[in-house]
Amino acid sequence: MRPTKTILISGGGIAGPALAYWLRAYGFTPVVVERAPQIRTGGQRIEMSGVGAEALHRMGLLERIRAQSGQPPEGVFYLGRADRRVDMPSWSPPSETRYERAPFAVKRGVLGTVLYENARDGVEYVFDDSITEIRQSDDGVDVSFENSPPRRVDLVVGADGLYSNVRSQVFGPADRFTRFLGTNLVIFTVDNYLGHRDSMSWHMWPYRGCAITTFPGNTELEGLFLFRSTTPLNVRDLTVDQRMRLVDKIYADAGWEVPGLLRAMRDSRDFVFTPSTQIRMDSWTRGRVALVGDSGYCPDPMSGQGSTLALVGAYILAAELKAAEGDHTRALPAYDAAMRRFVAFSQGVADFSTAFAAPRTGRWGVWAREQQLRAFFAVAHRARRMNLSLPAAWDYGGSLSLEDYRPAA
């Protein structure tokens, strides 16, 4: 069996160009096929720290990304019908005080563009195309496309997101791997009509929540609605206007800043309405095919870990291929095993975040939770003034670090 050389990557978002960069650096020949006609520059706000920032640092991109980013916004909660303001204590865990792991906020489009520009030299990109068939054999993979001639490659990597084309062709239909988290997410970008600065403002009601967050630079706001349902709301057959009217109905009796946000939503540039879902799989590899990023282990946007997992997965997959000298029978199982702890942590964050932002309880349950928050934040503020450390559970992600695959000097 000849060693792996040419690797076809389906998807040019975050995981795709990150993987292409590392593969090229390790002497492989990556080819990226992307359904869109060009790199997508839109998208939501990303907060990154820990291993995600560390992965960018190892690519030599952290300075460049930070120059186009900002500090994570300060959390503010508005509680009860009186909208009483309670500031969330800002307290960076010890593991994130190092520069290469310190938190920052950046637009997804900025991150994707920098990754693409970093990878495109020496990497073939095929835009406006998609894989139609994948046929594996002992010595390679024959791939057919919508618009391009067929190719024979050594490996195929699906980095094509939650609705992965590669996953559906090789592993089976999406419903086999999709886990509904009990909430539906609406997220969109509008001009900063409120004049907020460096803040993330939250309010919650029974079975619903809302957040308004500034983008770096404070010229735009990200509006977020999260609400519960027993089954995922299927809105694919609805127009954007019909989806917005459904959100209007669900939040019709909410106060606070919601009425103004619903009006501003009508002029949003990137309105998204989607069930909160994760991809859960027993294996992210099969034969000569591997999945990386959301296609294999989407943690859900509420986790804030999607881009981190994409960067970490790309780093580990490429490094394991290098360590195995291109032998995919050794590299792919090693990649699968190495990613498990990162994925388990990130998907657990989503369970906590959705339960916190959209309470699974009625009016009195929300009131009790608000009192707990007020008491807890008061204690946390006092502890911070006394320079006391956080409980270890708050910094569980700090125990996750990237293995250094570089050979010892």
> Would you state the pLDDT for residue 399?
58
What pLDDT, on a 0 to 100 scale, did the predictor assign at position 355?
Answer: 85
pLDDT of residue 409: 41
Note the pTM of the prediction, 2 decimals: 0.90
On the question of pLDDT at 71 being above 90, the answer is no
Most confident of 62-76, 96-110, 217-231: 217-231
Residues 6+ apart with CB under 8 A from 150: 142, 143, 144
Q: Residue 225, CB half-sphere, CA atoms under 13 Å: how many? A: 24
Query: 6-70+101-176+280-356 sits in which CATH class?
Result: alpha beta
pLDDT, averaged across the chain:
88
Q: 10-52 pLDDT, tens per residue? A: 999 999 999 999 999 999 999 999 999 988 877 788 888 888 9
By CB atoms closer than 10 A (0-12, 13-18, 19+), residue 89 is: middle
Nearest in space to 221 (alpha carbons), one of 266, 254, 187? 187
Which pLDDT value is given to residue 386?
Answer: 66
End-to-end CA distance of the chain: 31
Q: Pick from 92, 98, 93, 71: which is nearest to 200 by CA?
A: 71
Proportion of the chain above pLDDT 90, given as a percent: 63
How does pLDDT run across 223-271, given as a tens digit for each residue?
999 999 999 998 888 999 999 999 999 999 998 999 999 999 999 988 9
Pick 259 or 369 by higher pLDDT.
259
Sign of CA dihedral 115, 116, 122, 128: positive
Res 176 pLDDT > 80: yes
- Structural tokens at position 20: 């292409």
Where is pLDDT greater, at 99 or 346? 346
pLDDT of residue 196: 94
